[in-house]
Amino acid sequence: MDFKELMTARYSVRKLSDRPVSEEQIESILEAARVAPTAVNKQPFKIFVLRTPQAIKHAAECCRFDFIASAQVVFVIGAKKEEAWVRPSDGHNFAEVDASIAATHMMLEIANLGLGATWVGHFDAEKLKGFFHQTRDYELICMFGVGYPADDSEPNPRHFQYKDMKDLVERL
Ligand SMILES: Cc1cc2nc3c(=O)[nH]c(=O)nc-3n(C[C@H](O)[C@H](O)[C@H](O)COP(=O)(O)O)c2cc1C
């Protein structure tokens, strides 16, 4: 797939199969995050990799989505404000922007590998921090439960509801 095909083909996969995901695939997803652009290249993020059944179960207990429990690997992406560039003119801290760019790189590489995931923002971050103390000092941005899409996985109807270009773009 070329890049445009990949962007169009990607969708939030909410039904995963039990086919294993290799360590090489995980490394490739992590490498996609590592090379992502960040403000002043500060890279103020950390990716927590949950690979054991117990760790994945804990992640699933922090949200209401079955597809996290059935993932082969769960990534939690955290942003660290103290390490981020701050825009002098208004004090805007770019940690969450940077972490989200890295997460987006991961999401596209997941699709590029033929795997699936959904960006999950709706979870109990404090509960997750209780399970994994290493995440305590981070703003937890999202989690991805990754696996091969189930044979009958399909996009949610919301996937197709794009705004018109005229509503998204204003030429000044
Ligand atoms: C910041 C963010 C938070 C999201 N949180 C959730 C979530 O908690 N649960 C969920 O099922 N999907 C979540 N999604 C997925 C969106 O619902 C999905 O990307 C959107 O509906 C477009 O569909 P598509 O990804 O299939 O193109 C989130 C996406 C983003 C970017």
Query: How confident is the model at residue 70, as a pLDDT?
Result: 97
Q: For the residues 60-82, what does the mean pLDDT come to?
A: 97
Q: Which amino acid is at 118?
A: T
Supply the CATH number for residue 125's domain.
3.40.109.10
Ligand 1 atom 23, closest CA = 159
Q: Which residues neighbour 28 within 8 Å (Cβ) at sequence distance 6 or greater?
A: 109, 113
Question: pLDDT tens across 132-164, in order?
Answer: 999 999 999 999 999 999 999 999 999 999 999
Instruction: For residues 33-55, give the mean pLDDT.
Output: 98
Indicate whether residue 119 lines ligand 1 (CB < 6 A).
Answer: yes
Q: Write 23-30 long-range contacts (CB < 8 A, 24+).
A: 25/113, 25/115, 26/51, 26/73, 28/109, 28/113, 29/75, 29/106, 29/109, 29/110, 29/113, 29/146, 30/106
| Residue 154, number of CB atoms within 10 A of its CB | 12
88 Cα: distance to centroid of ligand 1 (angstroms):
32
Calculate mean pLDDT across residues 80-108.
Answer: 98
Q: What pLDDT score does 1 carry?
A: 83
Range of the domain at 67: 3-168
Distance (Å) from CA 102 to ligand 1 centroid:
16
Name the percent of the chain lying above pLDDT 90.
99
Report the domain count for the chain: 1
H helix intervals, 35-88: 53-61, 66-69
